[in-house]
């Protein structure tokens, strides 16, 4: 006897069994769910792809976005999780776009590109005027293995501390204003670079390495501020970046290094007068993003070691925290 609720009974009554679920439906995914998540994913993709088009006219929003641009990657796993939760094929497909863009822009920074020691090592460190442990900073510098050391934001009373503490390893040094250069190699041709702020925070020197001469620029560009009423205030820094870029462009020596706190990242369009003509050691030979500020929880690489003229970076690192609010950064170069 056939039961009334069996498939055979339904067939006998003329009813058709439900069609089997296929494709995405079998996985429980739908196209009409998660449209808000998909829209957010597309917004992230647009910001990644067209960050240079975000205007600086209002609060320097473009530069602010570019300063923290890598952190947009944190939205991707969140959006992915929301897409899975909503079981949305549309959202999951949309998340692929910012993922691909982010990997194209920053994926190369996730691997260690070091090729080992070079002919010499350089170091740059904003030692902070309010450094809580100058003696510890001196030890960090002496133990770094660097032959050329640039320091920024040296408090007036701390110059003698660094001069005495570094004299044994770095017999040559020059200090102009609040920036200084210490070297195992002879220094000559020191001249102040006017970055149009009214006091000295940049200079140029020639360092004679065993492989040949280098023009070394040490610079500390003006600070930027994030204010609720005026946004990302960076006007003075941008003026200084143009002046520094002009000086480097006019440099007569072929091989040039720039060491310093630029108060901006390589993504920030406002630093283009400098970054468009120089190569980042971190981008070419670093391991990870190399964030240098703030030391307690680094979020941006605003300290830079840049070069041009055929110098080849072979390694780039950040050092352990000391008494400064910045991390020291190093790079090895082949001449």
Weakest-pLDDT range from 24-33, 87-96, 109-118, 132-141: 24-33
- Same domain, yes or no: 90 and 134: no
Q: What's the distance, Cα to Cα, between the start and end of the chain in Å?
A: 93
d(CA 297, CA 9): 69
Q: Could you tell me if residue 1 is inside a domain?
A: no
Query: What angle do helix axes 159-166 and 134-142 make, rounded to 10 degrees?
Result: 30
H or E element at residue 86: helix 75-86
Q: Could you tell me if residue 5 is inside a domain?
A: no
How confident is the model over 111-139, as pLDDT tens digits?
Answer: 999 999 999 999 999 999 999 999 999 99
d(CA 180, CA 201): 9
Q: Could you tell me if residue 191 is inside a domain?
A: yes
Q: Could you tell me if residue 17 is inside a domain?
A: no
Residue 147 φ then ψ, to 5°: -95, -25
- Same domain, yes or no: 156 and 104: no
Q: Could you tell me if residue 7 is inside a domain?
A: no
- Same domain, yes or no: 173 and 99: no
pLDDT of 2: 46
- Same domain, yes or no: 155 and 218: yes
- Same domain, yes or no: 102 and 177: no
Tell me if 121 sits within 8 A of 170, measured CB to CB: no
- Same domain, yes or no: 124 and 269: yes
Across the chain, mean pLDDT equals 92
- Same domain, yes or no: 220 and 141: yes
- Same domain, yes or no: 186 and 320: yes
pLDDT of 23: 53
How confident is the model over 200-237, as pLDDT tens digits?
Answer: 999 999 999 999 999 999 999 998 876 555 445 577 99
Q: Could you tell me if residue 19 is inside a domain?
A: no
d(CA 254, CA 309): 5
H or E element at residue 91: helix 89-106
How confident is the model over 36-90, as pLDDT tens digits?
Answer: 999 999 999 999 999 999 998 877 889 999 999 999 999 999 999 999 999 999 9
Question: How many domains would you assign to the chain?
Answer: 2
- Same domain, yes or no: 43 and 189: no
pLDDT range class, residue 193, cuts 50, 70, 90: very high
pLDDT of 230: 46
Q: Could you tell me if residue 102 is inside a domain?
A: yes
How confident is the model over 271-284, as pLDDT tens digits?
Answer: 999 999 999 999 99
Residue with tokens 């679920």: 21
Domain stops at, among 60, 88, 110:
110
d(CA 48, CA 70): 9
- Same domain, yes or no: 100 and 157: no
Tell me if 278 sits within 8 A of 326, measured CB to CB: no
pLDDT of 317: 97
Angle (CA) 284 312 267, round 5°: 35
- Same domain, yes or no: 181 and 53: no
Q: What is the pTM of this model?
A: 0.88
Residue 189 has pLDDT above 50, yes or no: yes
pLDDT of 22: 57
- Same domain, yes or no: 271 and 317: yes
pLDDT range class, residue 18, cuts 50, 70, 90: low
Among 139, 153, 145, CA closest to 123: 145
Strands 225-227, 231-233: pairing kind: antiparallel
- Residue 140: which domain range? 120-334
The CATH code of the domain that includes 145 is 3.60.10.10
């Amino acid at each position: 006897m056939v039961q009334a609720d069996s498939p055979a009974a339904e067939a006998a009554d003329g009813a058709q069994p439900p069609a089997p679920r296929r494709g995405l439906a079998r996985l429980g995914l739908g196209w009409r769910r998660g449209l808000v998540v998909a829209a957010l994913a597309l917004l992230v993709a647009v910001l990644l792809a067209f960050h240079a088009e975000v205007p600086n006219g209002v609060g320097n929003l473009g530069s602010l976005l570019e300063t923290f641009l890598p952190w947009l990657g944190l939205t991707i796993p969140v959006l992915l999780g929301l897409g899975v939760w909503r079981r949305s094929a549309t959202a999951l497909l949309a998340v692929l776009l910012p993922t691909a863009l982010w990997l194209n822009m920053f994926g190369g920074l996730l691997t260690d590109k070091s090729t080992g020691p070079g002919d010499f090592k350089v170091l740059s460190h904003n030692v902070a005027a309010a450094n809580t442990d100058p003696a510890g900073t001196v030890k960090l510098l002496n133990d770094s293995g660097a032959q050329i050391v640039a320091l920024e934001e040296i408090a007036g009373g701390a110059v003698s501390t660094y001069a005495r503490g570094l004299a044994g390893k770095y017999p040559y040094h020059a200090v102009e204003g609040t920036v200084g250069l210490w070297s195992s190699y002879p220094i000559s041709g020191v001249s102040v670079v006017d970055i149009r702020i009214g006091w000295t925070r940049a200079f140029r020197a020639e360092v004679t390495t065993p492989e040949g001469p280098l023009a070394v620029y040490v610079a500390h560009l003006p600070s930027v501020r994030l204010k609720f009423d005026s946004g990302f205030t960076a006007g003075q820094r941008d003026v200084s970046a143009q002046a520094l870029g002009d000086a480097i462009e006019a440099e007569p020596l072929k091989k040039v290094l720039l060491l310093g706190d630029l108060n901006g990242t390589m993504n920030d369009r406002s630093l283009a007068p400098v970054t468009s003509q120089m190569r980042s050691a971190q981008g070419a030979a670093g391991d990870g993003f190399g964030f240098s500020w703030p030391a307690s929880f680094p979020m941006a690489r605003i300290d830079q070691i840049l070069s041009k003229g055929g110098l080849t970076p072979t390694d780039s690192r950040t050092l352990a925290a000391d008494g400064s609010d910045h991390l020291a950064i190093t790079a090895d170069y082949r001449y």
